[in-house]
Amino acid sequence: MEENIRKRLNSLIREGKSLTQRLEDSNGEIRFWVDEFMISIYQKWLASAYNLVSIISNPGSYYFDEATKCINFKPSQRGIPSDTIIKIYGLLLSLKEEIKNGLLKKIEFIFGAITFDNFLDHADYYHKANKKVESSVLASAVLEDTLKKIYRKNINDSKGLSLEEIINDLVRGKIFTPVKGKRIKSYAGIRNHAFHAEWDEFDIKDVGELIKGLRKIIDDYV
């Protein structure tokens, strides 16, 4: 997923470079408006660029807010202002540099969160259908991947560590509070039972608490 996003960002930058160059008239001056015969092409690029910015950056961030301001230009019969194209192109270039230099939240964690949410949606569906086995296995897989990702993001590679060791290290590193660590260990207990097919050790309500707690963990730490 991360590699696909990087490729898409680079693709939009290449296309944006070409489109901004085509904004010049025969005298090398920038036209105030996009050529009316090219509006659909520019609009398509703008929509794709804004969509990517909104995925990579969070609402309230500079990039998201600036991109939103840019595309909310005052409607006109003349079409799209050229400076809107230029500004969005500049934002994409800046985003690429920030990601390259590690100054932006790593997109692998952003897309990890999206993937986790998708899995949890399926787990929630099975939970509501009262399917304890299916919902617990899916949620347990997300729990394990989530904790490993949080560990790698904040401490180091978690290879060879048990979930209990990961949770203990995250508490020692003050990523989790002791109370939160204890609560997450209870989720890990459900995961252990699910992965060992010990279905009588927990009920459907426990799975519901696991799913609810996981969403909070992903929102807060991933």
Residue-wise pLDDT for 19-51, tens only, equals 998 888 777 788 888 877 788 888 889 988 988
Q: C-alpha distances in angstroms, 157 versus 25, 166, 187?
A: 54, 10, 22
Ordered per-residue pLDDT tens for the chain, 222 residues? 566 778 889 999 999 999 998 888 777 788 888 877 788 888 889 988 988 887 777 667 788 888 888 887 765 556 788 888 999 999 999 988 887 776 665 555 555 555 666 778 888 888 998 988 888 888 888 898 889 989 988 998 877 889 999 999 999 999 999 999 999 999 999 999 988 888 899 999 999 999 999 999 988 887
Residue 24, SS3 per DSSP: strand
Separation between Cα atoms, residue 170 and residue 165, nearest integer Å? 9
End-to-end CA distance of the chain: 16
Dihedral (Cα; 174, 176, 179, 183), 10-degree rounding: -160
Q: Which of 176, 205, 210, 171 is nearest to 190 (CA)?
A: 210
Q: How far is CA 130 from CA 121, 134, 141, 207, 213, in A?
A: 14, 9, 18, 10, 18
Contact 138, 123 (CB under 8 A): yes
Structure tokens that stand for 24 in this block? 């010049």
Q: Whole-model pTM above 0.95? A: no
Is residue 2 within 8 Å of residue 56, measured between CB atoms? no
CA distances from 29 to 21, 25, 188 (A): 10, 5, 63
Q: Give yes or no for a contact between 146 and 152, defined as CB atoms under 8 angstroms apart.
A: no
